[in-house]
């Protein structure tokens, strides 16, 4: 192995490195919530090893993803009702047993679009609710909205430079 020491000199180390034990590798391994856990719930009857899955398991995110499809909306609602009293492991096992596995299911996750960010920026600047902002923006053209956003960002930068 080649590396530099603190003085910047090249050190050549020919000693074989100790390999990590299986337990150390398992400690470092994590399941991905969307690729592994959610896919396992929807497409497989094989349960994941819970000791590893519990590191990244989030019942809220799983329920939110399930609520995107009308087939699972009632299930997600029921799970959300009792979500705080159900342990994550039981939540996972219930979903694993209730949902019939299919080959491939796509569950999108809601993403915030640019218009929503603009509405939030305007509502926080003028200190009004998001609903009021949406109602007010119906009367304005896109050009007016861009002008307001431009002035908000200019005001924010001026405010920072004045400090």
Q: Which CATH class is domain 23-98?
A: mainly alpha
Query: Residue 133's pLDDT is what?
Result: 85
| Rounded Cα distance, 117 and 33, in Å | 26
C-beta of residue 30 within 8 angstroms of C-beta of residue 93:
no
Query: Residue 105's pLDDT is what?
Result: 67
**Where do the structural domains in the chain lie, given as residue ranges?**
23-98, 114-162
What is the chain's pLDDT, residue by residue, as a tens digit (163 residues)?
A: 566 677 777 666 665 556 667 666 666 677 788 788 888 888 887 888 888 888 888 888 888 888 888 888 888 888 888 777 888 899 888 888 888 887 766 666 555 556 677 888 888 888 888 888 888 888 888 888 888 888 887 776 666 565 5
8: left (phi over 0), alpha (psi -120 to 50) or beta: left
Query: Residue 26's pLDDT is what?
Result: 62
Query: Residue 134's pLDDT is what?
Result: 84
| Rounded Cα distance, 106 and 13, in Å | 49
| Rounded Cα distance, 112 and 76, in Å | 21
Query: Residue 163's pLDDT is what?
Result: 56
């Amino acid at each position: 192995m080649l590396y530099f020491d603190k003085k910047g000199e090249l050190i050549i180390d020919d000693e074989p490195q100790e390999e990590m034990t299986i337990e150390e590798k398992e400690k470092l391994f994590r399941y991905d919530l969307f690729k592994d856990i959610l896919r396992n719930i929807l497409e497989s009857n094989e349960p994941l090893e819970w000791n590893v899955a519990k590191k990244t398991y989030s019942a809220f995110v799983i329920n939110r993803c399930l609520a995107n499809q009308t087939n699972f909306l009632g299930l997600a609602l029921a799970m959300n009702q009792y979500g705080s009293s159900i342990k994550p492991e039981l939540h996972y096992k219930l979903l694993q047993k209730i949902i019939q596995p299919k080959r491939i299911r796509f569950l999108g996750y809601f993403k915030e679009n640019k218009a929503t960010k603009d509405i939030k920026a305007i509502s926080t600047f003028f200190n009004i609710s998001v609903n009021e902002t949406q109602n007010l923006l119906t009367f304005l053209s896109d050009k007016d909205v861009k002008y307001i956003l431009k002035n908000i960002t200019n005001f924010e930068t001026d405010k920072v430079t004045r400090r």
